[in-house]
Amino acid sequence: MLGTTFLLALRSIRRHILRSFLTILGIVIGVGAVVTMVTLGKATTAAVQSQIAALGTNILQIRPGQGFGRGGGGPRPPDFKPEDVAAIASQIAGVTAVAPQAQASATAIYEGANWSTTINGTTAAYFQVQPWPLVNGRQWTPQEEQAGKAVCIIGNTVRQNLFRGGEAVGERFRLGDVSCDVIGLLSTRGQAGFGGDQDDVVIMPIKTVQRRFTGNRDVRLMLVGVDQAYATSTVQASITQLLRERRNITDGREDDFNIFDTKQISDTLTGTTTALTRIVAAVAAISLVVGGIGIMNIMLVSVTERTREIGIRLAIGAVAREVLLQFLVEAVALSCLGGLIGLVLAQAVIAGLTPLLQVPWTFDPRINVIAFAISAVIGVVFGYFPARRAAALNPIDALRHE
């Protein structure tokens, strides 16, 4: 009996191929839109979060200048000095470590290969503030750091391009005018949304960089690790106070440096993308509803034809239950097919858009299941309930239906 029902339902779908197509089109688009939007939204959120996580949480970044897009005119505020680093490390409660950074760029040369890269001069505190394990080799020793030895830890991109993927630790290469020993290899961090390729870097003791590359004692950037037990905002306020004093900023004048709280940025951006995802998902959900209305229209248009059909089936001896089961199977089959096509379509669109949007490819089973379930429900509601009404008629009235 169930086999017969399936056969009848499939025949009916095949016979009314245009009607079936129009019926599922709404579901295809609706499901496709919802799944695509929600997935891409979540992927964007995840991308933002991972980029922020790469910066490290509970870290304050301190730079000279007034931050994003501000501090237009006037001379550029001075960089920090090593004394500022020491002062923050020793005077502010809740600070676990302060990593200064001096930056330069130079061309690295090794056995005929050359690669232009960024040099990041810092101290061992850098690896304390943010986790960035080595996959090979070692840290520089305090002695090497103190003496400003030309030792370096390289990122994977440098290894790929300069050493052609070969074993780099233990090798010596030229970095600008400096002959440099590779003592460590960093684990891969990947692409960051802002800041480009994080693995394209050579990290050296800050003294080495200052002496051999920048030629001054300036510190361009400080990374401050904050103890979990302290609120970053409090620490941030104390540091602001201290730096204002050290940089002789009189009351009433604005800071000539800025402090980023990565956690705060993370929360803000995550909140923003989540809200955007919700809005976009809501718009997509509307398209699913519109799809449902489309199905209802098609079903209503065909209801005369279908009511007669039901009358015929009842007259030749079908029990109402059998007719209903057929219509139910037909409705569920159609909407599930539409749902499936929508899911596949969504995956295709997602696969096509993720590289363009530079977000990671993700698969969220939950939204797929939800969208699919909604499509099934829509199909049943709009396909089955009109049929149920028709099957409740007596065969005569159903046959006579205009």
Which stretches of the chain bind other proteins, using CB under 8 A? Answer: 1, 4, 7-8, 11, 15-16, 305, 308-309, 311-322, 394-396, 399
Closer residue to other proteins in complex, CB, 4/358:
4
Supply the minimum distance, in Å, between the C-beta of residue 319 and other proteins: 5
How far apart are the C-alpha atoms of 138 and 31, rounded to whole Å? 52
* Alpha helix (H) residue ranges in 97-225: 125-129, 142-147, 156-162, 206-209
Closer residue to other proteins in complex, CB, 263/306:
306
Supply the minimum distance, in Å, between the C-beta of residue 307 and other proteins: 12
Beta-carbon contacts of 395 under 8 Å, excluding residues fewer than 6 positions away, are 311, 314, 315
Taking CB atoms within 8 Å and a gap of at least 24, the contacts of 360-367 are: 360/43, 360/46, 360/47, 360/50, 361/43, 362/39, 362/42, 362/43, 362/46, 363/39, 364/38, 364/39, 364/42, 367/34, 367/35, 367/38, 367/39, 367/42
Closer residue to other proteins in complex, CB, 30/386:
386
Supply the minimum distance, in Å, between the C-beta of residue 369 and other proteins: 35
Closer residue to other proteins in complex, CB, 351/396:
396
Length of the chain: 402
Supply the minimum distance, in Å, between the C-beta of residue 29 and other proteins: 26
CB 402 within 8 A of CB 342: no
Phi, psi of 124 (to 5 degrees): -60, -25
Closer residue to other proteins in complex, CB, 287/302:
302
- E strands, 132-265, in order: 134-137, 151-154, 172-175, 178-186, 201-205, 221-226, 257-261
CB 133 within 8 A of CB 182: no
Give the HSE-up count for residue 40: Cα atoms under 13 Å, Cβ half-sphere: 24
Asked whether the CA dihedral 191, 194, 198, 202 is positive or negative, the reply is positive
Closer residue to other proteins in complex, CB, 164/321:
321
Supply the minimum distance, in Å, between the C-beta of residue 305 and other proteins: 7
Closer residue to other proteins in complex, CB, 15/366:
15
Supply the minimum distance, in Å, between the C-beta of residue 395 and other proteins: 5
Closer residue to other proteins in complex, CB, 9/367:
9
Supply the minimum distance, in Å, between the C-beta of residue 314 and other proteins: 7
Supply the minimum distance, in Å, between the C-beta of residue 17 and other proteins: 9
CB 331 within 8 A of CB 383: yes
Supply the minimum distance, in Å, between the C-beta of residue 24 and other proteins: 18
Supply the minimum distance, in Å, between the C-beta of residue 317 and other proteins: 3
Q: 4-42 in b/e burial notation, b at 16+ Cβ within 10 A?
A: ebeebbeebbeebeebbebbbbbbbbbbbbbbbbbbbbb
Closer residue to other proteins in complex, CB, 81/401:
401
Asked whether the CA dihedral 340, 345, 351, 353 is positive or negative, the reply is negative
Nearest residue to 303 (alpha-carbon basis) of 162, 213, 226, 295: 295
Closer residue to other proteins in complex, CB, 63/401:
401
Only one residue has tokens 């839109």, namely 33
Supply the minimum distance, in Å, between the C-beta of residue 281 and other proteins: 39
First to last CA, the chain: 30
Phi, psi of 73 (to 5 degrees): -85, -175
Closer residue to other proteins in complex, CB, 11/164:
11
